[in-house]
Amino acid sequence: MRFLPVVISFPLIWAAAAAQAQLWPPVVDERSGVVATDTSGWGGPVTPMQGPQFFDALGMKWWYNYLPDSSPSRVFPGYHKLYMYWRATLTSYTPAQIQAHAAAAAAAYPGQTIWWAMSNEPNDLGQANQSASAFAEIYYLHHRNLKIGDPNCRIMGPGILNWDFLSTSVWQKGKDWYEGFRQAWYDNPTCRAYSEAEYGVSYPPQDAFNLHTYDLRGVQGTPYAPEDWRYSRDQMLMCHNDLQSYPETAGKQIWLTEFGALRSATMADNIILTRQLVGWMRDQSFIARWVWFTIHSDKNWSDSDPPRLELLDENGQPWPVGLVAQELATLPIDVKVDPINGHYATDPVTAYLRVGTTTASGINDVAGDHPRFELVQGASLAAGTMRGREIAAGSHRFIRKVVFQYTTNYDNSKVKMIVDGVVRSGSSSQVWEMDQYGGQNGSVELTFDTPDRIRAVATGLVVVQPFTYVQATGGWYGELKNLVIYSEPDGGLVAPDFDGDMDVDQADFGHFQACYSSPGLAPTDPTCRDALLDGDNDVDGADFAVFLRCLSGAGVSPDPDCETAQ
């Protein structure tokens, strides 16, 4: 079994992860993009910031810079630009100019469908700051002339900032602004006649819905709350649910054209929010694209000091969060990233007891959305006892990577916190422990090989020597937070299908035979962990009985219940 079993203090853990060989081969997942503006004014290799050398460093194909510009210096064949009018008005461009923009974009990227967005955060005083009532005519002007210039283009409305949020800057909730916009369109005879004749709806026609989300609680007069990826998730869910009630947007996907960890205090917090939010979005069919804000910001911006926004530093090298963004952008589609801490586990979290231990009544399993265990004052704890939880990857999936943060506070001579890897047979082995004395915390990344066939991870507190717990202050506990699990399809129907070719045949028997030992003798070859079929830690006659029940022959699918049949 290959894993990273040691605790590496941040930020070295991320550098170590980046130095590993790729877990999965690089692929093009064209749902990821990045805002790439030209705001840097001091020169250097990231001016201008757009360009394949920077997009490739992040594994992204989509980008935008708030402009309708198709000049040669802004055209990159093989990539996709989202064209935009940052603050569209009735007088910014003539109809002929808008038509020319659309035609130029289509010519710049032959064979591609060109996407357009109109205006940027009109409900934000610091951005487009446009009233919903005035926007109907603006949208009509641009929509009609873009379609004349390029009949095949696709058009989104303005990038509304959040759906249900107010502050001293965000002067109108996104939902309220949009409903005002659609009503103004309906009330305008010219706008309404256009959309009814061309698109069969009485409201603003859109090929997708444009949204920005940030957790801004605690900014500009709003009640403070710690930054949490689930806030942005909930903004998207509320928006999507409401869109189904509007005839012009029902069934349309959302483009999240800005998101990021705007208020993260540390790079580790930024990374956790990024993993969890993007992990969740990857599994939502109604989200078409997500675009990080931003590839790089002017170092003189008051809100752009690392690590909150930038994916690249001023030399064009990825920050640690940029490495994570690159990893997420290049994951194959069928890899799942479960942000367990956000109530998004594919399987229910169940109690866990390591083989050979018994339940410790003197340890509480504290309720909540992450594993936390506390010692009970005055309890007598026996050695070889524990409390734990098991978190599975889902049916017919294996875990390839687990990322989490931890905090502990106990005497390591008496208790320790562990993480076990659990294979499909139910057997387990320790992959990480934290047994340092006193208050400890950090970030951990554990990576597994495919032959490990880890279907679940389990964590808990284990008592290593008997004692009576009496602690006047500072209760002892162990806790994992912000747990993220990467999983992939196991490739086989049953555990003895070792080579994942959907049958159990002579090739699988050859692997089993090479791993066969005797009762009580654990195999020494780490690639033999998948041959532990009966739940203990040896490969013997009991495992062979399971293998025989599943033996099907070449090209024949085994009985899916053969592992548990008697």
Q: With 0-12 CB in 10 A as exposed, 13-18 as middle and 19+ as buried, what is 395?
A: exposed
148 SS3 class: helix
Q: How far is CA 345 from the centre of its chain?
A: 13
Tokens of 505: 């045949």
401 close to 442: Cβ distance less than 8 angstroms: no
Q: Cα 213–320–305 angle (5° rounding)?
A: 65
415 to 70, 243, 355, 468: CA distances (angstroms)? 63, 52, 17, 12
What is the rounded distance in angstroms from the CA atom of residue 566 to the CA atom of residue 561?
A: 10
Tokens of 128: 């487009």
115 close to 156: Cβ distance less than 8 angstroms: yes
494 to 165, 192, 352: CA distances (angstroms)? 48, 58, 23
185 close to 167: Cβ distance less than 8 angstroms: no
- DSSP per position, 41-82: -S-STTSS--SHHHHHHHT--EEE-S-----GGG--TTSEEE
Tokens of 348: 């229910």
536 close to 559: Cβ distance less than 8 angstroms: no
190 to 139, 140, 146, 211: CA distances (angstroms)? 12, 9, 17, 26
181 close to 174: Cβ distance less than 8 angstroms: no
18 to 34, 308, 398, 517: CA distances (angstroms)? 20, 20, 21, 37
The sign of the torsion formed by the CA atoms of 87, 90, 91, 96 equals positive
Beta bridge partners of 503: none
Closest by CA to 464, choosing from 411, 421, 407, 427, is 411
Q: With 0-12 CB in 10 A as exposed, 13-18 as middle and 19+ as buried, what is 126?
A: exposed
- Amino acid present at 210: N
pTM equals 0.85
511 SS3 class: helix
The sign of the torsion formed by the CA atoms of 427, 448, 321, 80 equals negative
Tokens of 321: 């969060």
Q: pLDDT tens digits, the chain, 566 residues: what are they?
A: 333 333 323 332 333 333 334 678 777 789 999 998 765 444 445 455 567 888 888 999 999 989 999 988 888 988 999 999 999 999 999 999 999 999 999 999 999 999 999 999 999 999 999 999 999 999 999 999 999 999 999 999 999 999 999 999 999 999 999 999 999 999 999 999 999 999 999 999 999 999 999 999 988 788 888 889 999 999 999 999 999 999 999 999 999 999 998 888 888 889 999 999 999 999 999 999 999 998 887 555 554 455 567 898 877 889 999 999 999 999 998 899 999 887 665 567 789 999 899 999 999 999 887 899 999 999 999 999 999 999 998 877 889 999 999 999 999 899 999 999 998 777 899 999 987 776 788 899 999 986 677 989 999 999 999 999 998 767 899 999 999 999 988 776 688 888 777 889 998 999 999 999 888 887 877 678 778 888 777 899 998 999 999 999 998 988 878 887 66
Find out whether the peptide bond into 564 is cis, omega within 30 degrees of 0: no
Task: Give the strand pairing for 350-352 and 385-392.
Answer: antiparallel
